[in-house]
Amino acid sequence: MRKKYFLLILILSSLIPSFLNAQALLGNYNYENTINIVHDNPAFAYTDDRAQINIFSVGMLCGGNTLLFKPSIFGFLENGNVTPNTDYEKNVSAGVKNLWGNLEIAGPGASFKFRRKHNFAITTGARYLINSNNLDRGTFLLLGANAPHDSLIRDTFNINNFRYTSQFFKEINLSYATYLYSSEDYNLIGGVTLKVLFGAGAMGVNVSNASFNTNNNDGTAYNLSGNGNFVYTPFANKWALSNSPLNALAAPTNNMGIGADVGMVYYINVNETMALIKGYQLRLAASVTDIGSISYTAGSFSGNFNINNQNINYKNIQNNSSKTFGTRLFSDYYQDTVLKGKSNINKFTVGLPTALRLNADIKVLEEKVFFNINGIINLRNPNADKYVNHYVTTATFTPRYATKLFQFALPFTFNNQKQGYLGGVIYCGPFYIGSSSIFSMTVTNKFNNIDLFSGLSLRIKQRRAKERDYMMM
């Protein structure tokens, strides 16, 4: 017996934020506590400190052109609940709909020096990644709570190259960094990270093409035809369709994967005086991160499917107040037979969000004013033939004011979806907290991106060196 997975998962993509904690890009480009950014570039494992320790880092981000969030959505931090139309609403703007989100947790971790020129870092973490790409606008408006009638949507729907991928995994990372070139004024450091990945769960839907009709939004999709594939790990409802996905991390898993990062950091600190100038005048960094994938064991209903001229009643699942969407999907529709399987899938892989990361940190004034430029360029091309997660190509420009114990930064972010937003970050000693969209979220009643991040890290500095005489002999 087969489930009505095909159309139900399309509905799932429009309802994800009701149980999602979102997509995070942890980013703390402080020039001292580099343990926080080893996951962005393994060359940052190199430090002049004896050791650096990351206590924790956590971040979340959800964005796209699918939803408009309201300030009340921050209530989920207190009660874990997000309510449609109260905390968010559909974004009815034109164009295909894309959604991205993930929760990232890092720590504990540490970097340490070995025989002066060798540096290692051991970091741990967990990531919950979600991407929904290329959902037809008409289908998007039709699905979910309070769908409009035919005055706003059409009667004929076509879906092409729709992709939905999510995965939840733990990771243990070993990084190594050392000098590739060293001089008084210029230093080049290279690094590499090996990732051992433990998958807690994954789900994917790829629809190469599909079509159906409606009749004045009467709750039935008529003449549903198309083909696609659907994969999920056993007990996916326990991690993907619940308000407590972190519970999945406690469960044992045999879903394994290997990944890698490679990167370089170039420090420029031209000294034309006899005085010792600490730090750098310009720091340039480049890396390729998250090379690899995780192999998952598929649930019993995973497979490739054809649908030919079927009718499906979606009304019963789009407005459910007494039951969660997960209960409807995995229980009420368990015995339905809309889909006819072409072949079963026993194993599937989900690619990591491979990205090219570029960063420049410029000292503008003494040790107090810096300007940072950061770029994340997506190297994954999601399509209906594979399952991959990906980050959104993004550029961030951040002026930063720094004192010994306090720093303040104002990041301005712009992505390839033509969305821009302004944020703020505060550093108090080893602790930082911020958001790349905090000002956008506070000056408007509706916003398309929401993110928060925070962390705590410590430095174990070198013993104070004796003053050296730099006078020419």
What tokens does 382 get? 């999601």
Q: What pLDDT is recorded for position 260?
A: 98
Annotate 381-407 with b (16+ C-beta within 10 A) or e (fewer). Answer: ebebebbbbbbbbbbbebebebeeeeb
**Distance separating alpha carbons of residues 236 and 103, to the nearest angstrom:** 17
Comparing 180-184, 298-302, 412-416, 448-452, the range with the smallest average pLDDT is: 298-302
**Does 466 fall in a domain?**
no
The C-alpha angle 439, 440, 443, rounded to 5 degrees, equals: 80
* Structural domain boundaries, residue 375: 5-460
Residue 317 DSSP code: H
pLDDT value, residue 34: 87
Contact by Cβ (8 Å): 2, 341: yes
Cα 64 from Cα 99, distance rounded (Å): 5
Distance separating alpha carbons of residues 401 and 313, to the nearest angstrom? 57
* pTM: predicted TM-score of the whole model, two decimal places: 0.83
Q: What is the pLDDT of residue 229?
A: 85
In a domain, 467, yes or no: no
Higher pLDDT, 152 or 54: 54
Residues 6+ apart with CB under 8 A from 169: 126, 127, 197, 198, 199, 200, 255, 257, 294
Which residues are bridge partners to 170 per DSSP? 126, 198
Query: What is the torsion angle, in degrees rounded to the nearest 10, for the CA atoms of residue 272, residue 275, residue 278 and residue 281?
Result: -20
Residue 468 inside a domain? The answer is no
Neighbours of 335 (CB within 10 A): 9
d(CA 6, CA 19): 20
470 belongs to a structural domain:
no
Residues 379-438: tens digit of each pLDDT: 998 776 789 999 999 999 999 998 888 889 999 988 888 888 888 999 898 899 988 888
Residue carrying the six token digits 């799932």? 12
Other C-beta atoms closer than 10 Å to the C-beta of 99 total: 24
- CATH assignment at residue 330: 2.40.160
The answer to whether residue 473 is domain-embedded is no
39: left (phi over 0), alpha (psi -120 to 50) or beta: alpha
- Determine the pLDDT at residue 189: 96
Write out pLDDT tens, residues 453-467: 898 999 888 766 544
Kindly state whether residue 472 falls inside one of the protein's structural domains.
Answer: no
Higher pLDDT, 53 or 73: 53
What domain count does the chain have? 1
**448 assigned to some structural domain:** yes
In a domain, 235, yes or no: yes
CB atoms within 10 A of CB 174: 15
